[in-house]
Each structure stands twice: as C-alpha cells, then as structure tokens.
Amino acid sequence: MKNKVFDTIIIGGGASGLSAAIFAAGGGCNVLILEQKEKLCKKIYATGNGKCNFTNKEWQPAYFRGEAPSLAEPVLRAFSLTDTLEFFKKIGVYPKERNGYYYPNSEQAASVAENLIREAERLGVQYVTDVKVSGVYKDKEGRFAAETENGVYYGKSMVLATGGKASPAHGSDGSGYFFAKSFGHRIIQPLPAIVQLKAEGKFFKTLAGVRTEGSVTLCIGKERYKEEGELLFAAYGISGIPVMQVSRYASVALAKKQSVTAELDLFLNLSETELAEEILRRFSRMKQTTAEEALAGLCNHKLNYVLLQQCGLEPTKQAVAYGKKEAAALAEKIKHFTVKITDTNGFEQAQACTGGVPLTELTEHMESKLLTGLFVTGELADIDGTCGGYNLQWAWSSGAAAGKKIGGTYASHSTAENKNRA
Ligand SMILES: Cc1cc2nc3c(=O)[nH]c(=O)nc-3n(C[C@H](O)[C@H](O)[C@H](O)COP(=O)(O)OP(=O)(O)OC[C@H]3O[C@@H](n4cnc5c(N)ncnc54)[C@H](O)[C@@H]3O)c2cc1C
C-alpha cells in the first residue's frame, strides 16, 4: 500500500473525508483514507446528541459564517439539500424531518456513520485507522506524500479533511492547520464556536441546572446578536441552543480583548410594563407571604431568589414591604438580566470552530489556488455553520465538491460503472 501511488489520499476519515472519498471513488479513483482514530467517522456518532442532525430544510447564507461566507454559496448550491437527501436515501439513510431539522429515521447517528463507511467500502475505498499523519509534502516526482509512523503514503492528489480544533477527543486536534500552512496557506485564527459561555457572577452556582425560555442578546460595542429559545444556566455561566448560536461572536470578540456582555430576557410573554404590574399585584395581594413566595410561579424559584437579590431586595422580607418602585426594578431585571462574558468553554466543549483556510485561497471545488491537486474540506476551511445541521451540510457539500473534481481529474479506472454507483 505504501509504495502504491493512490489517485487521492484523504487525511481524516470524518464527515467531509467520507463524502470526498465516496465521490472520488465513484468517479473512478482509487482512494486511501488515513485516520488517526481507531475507527472512521468517530465524531458523527456523537452528533445531534447521538441522533445526528445531518442537514436542515431551511437554507440562508446567514447560517454560514466566516471571513468570506459568500464563497461557500456555490459549494452549497452544487451539493444542495435535495442532493444531500437523495444521496443519503441512496446509501440507506432514510431521513426524518422535525421542525426543519433532518435526522436519520432510525434517530441513530450510528446509521449515518455506518452507511457512509459501507458505501465507501462498496466503492473500493481503502482506509487505515489508528494512523496519525505527522507531516505532508510534495516530493521531487510531484507526488503528494503523507508521513506516518508506518511510513510514507503517496497520492496524485491530497485532501486535507482533518477537521478543525473543536472536540479534539473525536480526533480533530488541529494538525490540519499545520499541513495547510506547510503548503503555503494562510490560517485564520481558529476559535471555539457553538460553545457554552462562561460569565461573571457568584449567583451562577445557585442557578446551575435552571432552564427557561428566553432570549439572549450578545452585546459587543454597538453590535447585537440575538437568539431565542431555551436558556440553560450552569455553574460556569450560560448555555442552551440560543447561547451556542451566538457564541462564535463572543469567541472572536474576546480574542480581540473586546468587552462582551449578554443580556437575557427571562420572560418573553410579557412586556416590562406588564411584568411590573404583575409583580406589584403579587406583592400587594399576599400580605402574609415573603417576597420570594410572592414570586412563586413567575419564574423558576431559584431564579426568583437570585433576581430579588440582584435588585437588592430581601427574599425573606414580607412582600407588602415592597411597592411600585421595587416591582419596576424586578421587571427591568427579568427583561434585561445582563451578565459579563469572560470566556468560552473552549475547544474541548465546542461543536465547531471558526477560522481555518480562507475560502479566498480555494476554488469552488475546494482545491487550493496555491497548489493544484491539494484540496481542503469541512471545518478546516473557514466556514462555521449555526446549530441545526449546517456544519454537517458544509462537510457533505465541500467533500462532494472535492471528490467530484478529483474523480473527474485523477481517476485511473474506467469510470462508467463507478459513476453509476456513486
Ligand atoms: C458533540 C458534537 C455534536 C455535533 N452535532 C452536530 C449536528 O448534529 N449537526 C451538525 O451539522 N454538526 C454537528 N457537529 C459538528 C460536525 O460534527 C462537524 O462540523 C463535522 O464533523 C466536521 O467534519 P470534518 O470532516 O471537517 O471533520 P471531522 O468530522 O472532525 O473529521 C476529521 C477527522 O480527521 C481525523 N484527523 C485529524 N488529524 C489527523 C491526522 N493528523 N492524521 C490522521 N487523521 C486525522 C480526525 O481523527 C477525524 O476523524 C457536532 C460536533 C460535535 C463535537
């Protein structure tokens, strides 16, 4: 295997690597995947809480972020939602849609991973697992070389599908950046995205575990990023899908040493005025009760306690001691609960990462503009999607773009049969 020159060598057997492999092999290429983990697609098994949200019905350019997100559009259009659903049905993954989010009908991420692997095997893709690529280069004969502790593997072309730095436990340890850099590419600083946010405040220990519907508005200078949904409090700060959605902006701003705050609206159904009236009604109606008891049933009881304290009110004091002014202060606090964001939970907890190889240095086939035959796919390229299946969609689309180009350029087999099969 090591003396053989493959049509393409794919470094990384994750989502985009498998997509590239299947399309390259389908186009008649002999393909080798080198994967450092003990099995292919390790991260896919963990996606969508084990259910794998592999794409989304709704598609808007704003769901894909980076320095030049408009350059992702042709890639996403060339392998669209329809193509994705057809492809997965063809390889055995019947889709199920819930609120626009697509999952396998089995609701098991394993079925996505296993069908991808089976399809790659059916097309003759070869792979070696438990092998870390330590270096890449182009040799004097013009071959792409991948160095491993087992020796060097050669390809006529090469795909860097190593992922970024998010969730290194699943294999994406950032080595792809060094490979891309060694071929002359610029690397936009990778930062955690789709990640929980750490915030200042001793009260977070009290609030740990509290969930509530609400909105988060991230404030960075004059910029505002707002999302609604279920907010989750933790001892370190805030989490939940709305927080994860805006987290990449916090990451980027914190890296630039900018001040970041998050304003939480903890009661979406009432305006501040309505809320103040409701609180005042509660204060004056229950004469024998404490302020904390008067708020029971408004927000989560731990939240009520912290909100009173944050307004300088005594939770155990009789409710009647408080009037219009205190009710207004509480309503303001509930609608604009503002916390200072100090950090993210880091790459370990992140589901994606910002940065990577700039799209301006890649063609719409994900081929390097600096070095013909070199391809960069998935999260290693500078695109991060929002929650909802967009990161995997990017992995499928960018992998397909590279795989199809490789299949059409480097194939050493007759393609007729293979093209039908892919
Ligand atoms: C917990 C979790 C849940 C997620 N859920 C979703 C979801 O539901 N929907 C969604 O759209 N996105 C989800 N994502 C994001 C999505 O999984 C990734 O964006 C996507 O997998 C990226 O694909 P990739 O091919 O770029 O990289 P990866 O899938 O990370 O694959 C890269 C592969 O390269 C290998 N590799 C790296 N370096 C080397 C080396 N030097 N030598 C050999 N092999 C190497 C790694 O071991 C890895 O297998 C989730 C992520 C996480 C962590």
**What is the 312 CA–ligand 1 centroid distance (Å)?**
46
Whole-prediction pTM? 0.95
Instruction: Locate the ligand 1 atom nearest the alpha carbon of residue 133 and give its number.
Output: 42
418 pLDDT higher than 80: no
Portion of the chain with pLDDT greater than 90, in percent: 94
Determine the pLDDT at residue 416: 46
**Is there an atom of ligand 1 within 6 Å of 56 CB?**
no
| Owner of token pair 């405040």 | 201
Question: Among 359, 352, 346, which Cα is nearest to 388's?
Answer: 352
Q: What is the Cα gyration radius of the chain?
A: 25
Please give the average per-residue pLDDT across 103-127, as a whole number: 98
With a 6 Å cutoff on the Cβ, whether 17 touches ligand 1 is yes
Sequence ranges of the domains in the chain: 5-191+356-421, 196-344
Q: Is the pLDDT of residue 275 over 80?
A: yes
Region 264-282 average pLDDT: 97
pLDDT category of residue 285 using cuts at 50, 70 and 90: confident
The encoded tokens of residue 126 equal 């070869």
How many whole angstroms from 45 Cα to the centroid of ligand 1?
10
pLDDT at 421 exceeding the cut of 70? no
Best residue among 351, 353, 357 to mutate for probing ligand 1's pocket (most ligand atoms within 8 Å of CB) is: 351
pLDDT at 407: 97
Across all residues in the chain, what is the average pLDDT?
Answer: 95
For residue 80, report the distance from its CA to the centre of ligand 1, in Å: 20
403 vs 84: CA distance, rounded Å: 14
Which pLDDT belongs to residue 1?
66
- What pLDDT is attached to residue 5? 95
Give the rounded percent of residues in the chain with a pLDDT score beyond 70.
97
Q: Verify whether ligand 1 is closer than 6 Å to residue 386 (CB atom).
A: no
According to the model, what pLDDT value does residue 412 have? 87
Ligand 1 pocket, mutate which of 40, 137, 172 (most atoms under 8 A from CB): 172
Q: Relative to the CA of 392, which ligand 1 atom is closest?
A: 11
Is 350 near ligand 1, meaning CB less than 6 Å away? Answer: no
**Among 112-116, 133-137, 185-189, 317-321, which stretch is predicted with the lowest mean pLDDT?**
317-321
Residue 2: band (very low, low, confident or very high) from pLDDT cuts 50, 70, 90 = low
Which run of H or of E encompasses 222? Answer: none
Question: What pLDDT shows up at residue 271?
Answer: 98
Whether 94 has a pLDDT exceeding 80, the answer reads yes
SS3 for 300-346, per residue?
Answer: CHHHHHHHHHHCCCCCCCEHHHCCHHHHHHHHHHHHCEEEEEEEECH
pLDDT, one tens digit per residue, over 207-220 is: 999 999 999 999 99
Which residue is closest in CA terms to ligand 1's atom 46? 171
Report whether pLDDT(417) > 50. no
Q: Ligand 1 pocket, 390 CB below 6 A?
A: yes
Domain 5-191+356-421 is classified in which CATH homologous superfamily? FAD/NAD(P)-binding domain (3.50.50.60)
- Residue 272 alpha carbon to ligand 1 centre in Å: 43
Please report the pLDDT score of residue 415 as a whole number: 52
At 65, the pLDDT band (50, 70, 90 cuts) reads: very high
CB 315 within 8 A of CB 291: yes
Given this model, what pLDDT does residue 4 score? 86
